[in-house]
Amino acid sequence: SYVLTQPPSVSVAPGQTARITCGGNNIGSKSVHWYQQKPGQAPVLVVYDDSDRPSGIPERFSGSNSGNTATLTISRVEAGDEADYYCQVWDSSSDHPLVFGTGTKVTVL
């Protein structure tokens, strides 16, 4: 099945930029979505279809996708951004069409 690999953890100082990667074979040809999950809460969609933001999500959250890596970028990081982040892929042509990444814990220093 298709595997999406994320770094287990990313640390960033307030006001700086956090970049979370999601690696997968030719992921650039697929649609990638990103979720934020805080402890004890359900995930929240922060980026969909590589780089679109749902209403209510700050512009500080942005996404890109090319080649074998998709990236979620959080600009001007705030303490409230500390959470787990998951990427997700949808590939209608695959026998395993929907896969989540392994997850990344973002720590705000």
Residues forming the site for other proteins (CB under 8 A): 1, 31, 33, 35, 37, 42-45, 48-49, 52, 54, 86, 88, 90, 95-103
The answer to whether the CB of 13 falls within 8 A of the CB of 68 is no
Q: Which is nearer to other proteins, 87 or 108 (CB)?
A: 87
Task: Give the number of other CB atoms < 10 A from CB of residue 24.
Answer: 23
- C-beta of 3 vs 13, nearer to other proteins: 3
CB of 69 to other proteins, least distance (A): 18
Q: How far is the CB of 109 from other proteins (least distance, A)?
A: 23
To other proteins, the closest distance from the beta carbon of 21 in angstroms equals 16
Residue 99 CB, nearest approach to other proteins (Å): 7
Closest C-alpha among 6, 17, 18 to residue 88: 6
Nearer to other proteins, 41 or 76 (CB): 41
Give the CA distances from residue 82 to residues 31, 38, 52, in Å, rounded to whole numbers and listed in that order: 25, 7, 21
C-beta of 14 vs 54, nearer to other proteins: 54
Task: Please classify residue 41 by burial: count the beta carbons closer than 10 Å to its beta carbon, then call 0-12 exposed, 13-18 middle and 19+ buried.
Answer: exposed
